[in-house]
Amino acid sequence: MTIQSELEAQFSAQGLNPQMAMEGLKHLKPINYWEYTAVDSLLTLQKPRTHFPDEYIFIVYHQITELVFNLMLHELKQLCAETTPPVEAFKEKIPRLSNYTRMLSNSFNVMTKGMNYDQYNTFRHSLSPASGFQSAQYRLIEIYCTQLQNLARTAPAESSVAEKFGHIYWQHAGLDRTTGKKTFTLRQFEEKYLNKFIETASAIELNTLEDKINQLIANGQMDDETKAAAREFDHLYNVSWPLVHLETAQHYLNAKGENKAATGGSEWQKYLHPRYQKRIFFPALWTEEEKNNWGDF
């Protein structure tokens, strides 16, 4: 079969007029790197709020983080599709999730050692009440990875999806310790994204990555390789990376014993340490002893 006949067959299968579609191909311009990556547009998205040079580093690093989150969601949406993919897809894609998480952990030196201490502790006041707490993609990764009950452990089991979000673990980080009311940071975040979170959680109920893994276990398809890959990702995302994040926060907020407040107002020591939150995506893959000592190994 010639290339022309292959193209004609492909266009026909798509319901297109092969002759018209092939005529259009003649007028395509050659692609180049800067157009394909939209790099010129990408480099216009950094908008510092102060004159401190290192704020630019802070913005770019967080934008890189959001792009990595997007890659993770790209994989998770395929794994969590209503039709369960073959076992081979889990062997391929769960290690990708671990690789992306390693990128996040290994690159955190850009935050810890890549900014001037005094600059950061000055310009960060101009960022309040914004907070990494408000990363919607970070929350969506959690929603895709595990059953909502694992993120809202105090919610009654019979609670609706919407009701569980009233018990979600990050609610605690968004409370004013003095008044017990939601901080402005949390109120803004929920106004912007809560409906999307509820819709997403409802749409993938019983189809989270945890549900898929439990299904592999029930079907006798969870081999040692897949189990090890899933455990590795769970630990990297919910223990290793938060501890690196905590180390960076310690460096800037408590290096001299000042115990500075986070810009979003969270009790950052307890919010970031996995021992307190015990976010575990795949409980069935861990022993009771491992779960009890979560964050300590």
Q: How far apart are CA 33 and CA 7, in angstroms?
A: 25
Cα–Cα distance for residue pair 230/282, rounded to 1 Å = 8
Candidates 130, 124, 126, 128; CA nearest to 111 is 124
Residue 248 to residue 105: CA distance in whole angstroms: 11
Q: Confidence class of residue 277 from pLDDT cuts 50, 70 and 90?
A: confident
Q: What is the pLDDT of residue 260?
A: 53
Q: Quickly state the pLDDT bin for 232 (edges 50, 70, 90).
A: very high
Q: State the virtual CA torsion across 85, 86, 88, 90 in degrees, nearest 10.
A: 40
Least confident of 17-31, 166-180, 210-224, 245-259: 245-259
pLDDT value at position 234?
A: 98
At residue 175, the 3 state secondary structure works out as strand
Distance CA 211, CA 223 (A): 16
In our burial notation (b when 16+ CB lie closer than 10 A, e otherwise), range 6-41 reads eebeebeeeeeebeeeeeeeeeeeeeeeeeeeeeee
Residue 262 reports pLDDT greater than 60: no
Token pair 């690159």: residue: 107
More confident residue, 1 or 38: 38
**What's the pLDDT score for residue 81?**
93
Predicted confidence band of residue 105 (pLDDT cuts 50, 70, 90): very high
Please give the residue that has the higher pLDDT: either 32 or 124. 32
pLDDT at 263 over 60: no
Please tell me the distance from the alpha carbon of residue 179 to that of residue 158, in angstroms, as a whole number: 29
Domains of the chain: 51-125+134-292 (1.20.58)
Lowest mean pLDDT segment, chosen from 82-86, 139-143, 257-261:
257-261
Burial classification of residue 144, based on how many CB atoms lie within 10 Å of its CB (0-12 exposed, 13-18 middle, 19 or more buried): buried
Cα separation, 124 vs 189, in Å, equals: 19
Q: What is the pLDDT of residue 146?
A: 98
Q: Give the angle subtended at the CA of 60 by the CAs of 247 and 230, to the nearest 5°.
A: 55
Q: How many CB atoms lie within 10 A of CB 194?
A: 16
Helix axes 54-79, 136-145, angle to 10 degrees: 30
Is the model more confident about 225 or about 125? Answer: 225
Closest alpha carbon to 282 in 221, 218, 212, 234: 234
Least confident of 2-11, 27-36, 231-240: 2-11
* Backbone phi, psi, residue 145, to 5°: -80, -30
Better-scored residue on pLDDT, 262 or 9:
9
Residue 258: which pLDDT band, with cuts at 50, 70 and 90?
Answer: low
Q: Check residues 260 and 78 and name the one with the higher pLDDT.
A: 78
- Cα–Cα distance measured from residue 209 to residue 99, given in angstroms and rounded to the nearest whole number: 17
Does residue 265 register a pLDDT over 70? no
Residue 272 has a pLDDT of 64
129 upstream amide cis, omega within 30 of 0: yes
User: What are 175's strand-pairing partners?
Assistant: 182
